[in-house]
Structure 1
Amino acid sequence: MLKVKSVSKSYHRRKVLFECSFTCEPYQIMGIFGHNGCGKSTLFRIICGIIKPDSGAVIVEKDKVGYMPEQRSLLIDLTLTQQAKMLGKLRNLNETQTELSLQEMINTFGFGEMASKPIKTLSKGNQQKAQLILSMIHRPKVLILDEPFNGLDYLSQIELSRWIRIYAQKGNSVLISSHQLEHMDGLCDEILILDHGKTIKQGHLQSLREQHQQYSVKVNADSNWKDFNFAYESLSAVDSWIEVRFTTLNQAKRAVGIFLKDKSVQSIHLEMVALSELIQVCEH
Structure 2
Amino acid sequence: MTLVIENVTKTYQNFTAVDALSFTIPKGESFGLIGQNGAGKTTTFRMILDLQETTKGTISWDGHPMNSVDRDLLGYLPEERGIFPTMPVEEQLYFFGELRGQKRKDLKKEVDYWIERFDLEDKRKEKAEKLSKGNQQKVQLIASFIHKPAFLILDEPFSGLDPVNKDLLKEAILHLKEQGTTILFSSHQMDHVEELCDHLCLLKRGQSLFSGSLLDLKKSYGKIKLAIRSDHSLEQLLALDGVASGVQKKDHVLLTLRDESYAQSIFDFVSAGNYIERFSLDYLSLDEIFKLKVGEPSGEVLAARETTL
- With the length of structure 1 as denominator, give the TM-score of the two structures: 0.89
2:166 aligned partner, one-letter code: Q
Confirm or deny that 1:10 pairs with 2:19. no
Confirm or deny that 1:47 pairs with 2:72. no
Q: Give, in whole Å, the separation in 2 of the partners of 1:95 and 1:28.
A: 29
Quote the residue 1:277 is aligned against. 288
Post-superposition shift, 1:214? 3.5
Could you say what secondary structure the match of 2:7 adopts?
A: strand
**Larger CA deviation: 49-58 vs 148-157:** 49-58
Post-superposition shift, 1:11? 2.6
Quote the residue 1:252 is aligned against. 263
Contact preservation (8 Å) 2:231, 2:274: no
Post-superposition shift, 1:191? 1.1
Contact preservation (8 Å) 1:26, 1:168: no
Post-superposition shift, 1:208? 1.2
Quote the residue 1:241 is aligned against. 252
Q: Percent identity?
A: 27
Note the 1:126-165 alignment, pairs <5 A: 126-165=135-174
Could you say what secondary structure the match of 1:50 adopts?
A: coil
Change (3 A) 1:254 1:117: farther
Change (3 A) 1:127 1:252: farther
Change (3 A) 1:235 1:20: closer
Q: Deviations over 1:189-208 (max 9, x none)?
A: 11111112122221111011
Q: Give, in whole Å, the separation in 1 of the partners of 2:158 and 2:273.
A: 43
Post-superposition shift, 1:249? 4.7
Contact preservation (8 Å) 1:192, 1:201: yes
1:132 aligned partner, one-letter code: L
Confirm or deny that 1:205 pairs with 2:214. yes
Q: Give, in whole Å, the separation in 1 of the partners of 2:7 and 2:44.
A: 11
Could you say what secondary structure the match of 2:4 adopts?
A: strand
The answer for unaligned runs of 5 or more in structure 2 is 62-68, 296-309
Contact preservation (8 Å) 2:10, 2:55: yes
Contact preservation (8 Å) 2:154, 2:185: yes
Contact preservation (8 Å) 1:143, 1:174: yes
Confirm or deny that 1:69 pairs with 2:78. yes
**Larger CA deviation: 266-275 vs 113-122:** 266-275
Change (3 A) 1:73 1:226: closer
Contact preservation (8 Å) 1:6, 1:55: yes
**Larger CA deviation: 114-123 vs 251-260:** 251-260
1:19 aligned partner, one-letter code: A
Quote the residue 2:33 is aligned against. 32
2:32 aligned partner, one-letter code: G
Q: Deviations over 1:100-127 (max 9, x none)?
A: 2212221222221212211111111111
Q: Give, in whole Å, the separation in 2 of the partners of 1:36 and 1:227.
A: 40
Contact preservation (8 Å) 2:242, 2:259: no
Quote the residue 1:174 is aligned against. 183
- With the length of structure 2 as denominator, give the TM-score of the two structures: 0.83
Change (3 A) 1:156 1:253: farther
**TM-align CA RMSD:** 2.4
1:34 aligned partner, one-letter code: G
Q: Give, in whole Å, the separation in 2 of the partners of 1:174 and 1:78.
A: 28
Could you say what secondary structure the match of 2:116 adopts?
A: helix
Q: Deviations over 1:156-195 (max 9, x none)?
A: 2133223322322322211111111122222211111111
Q: Give, in whole Å, the separation in 1 of the partners of 2:183 and 2:270.
A: 42
The answer for unaligned runs of 5 or more in structure 1 is none
2:87 aligned partner, one-letter code: L
Q: Give, in whole Å, the separation in 1 of the partners of 2:268 and 2:195.
A: 28
Give the aligned length.
284
Could you say what secondary structure the match of 2:254 adopts?
A: strand
Change (3 A) 1:14 1:110: same
Q: Give, in whole Å, the separation in 1 of the partners of 2:164 and 2:98.
A: 33
Post-superposition shift, 1:91? 1.1
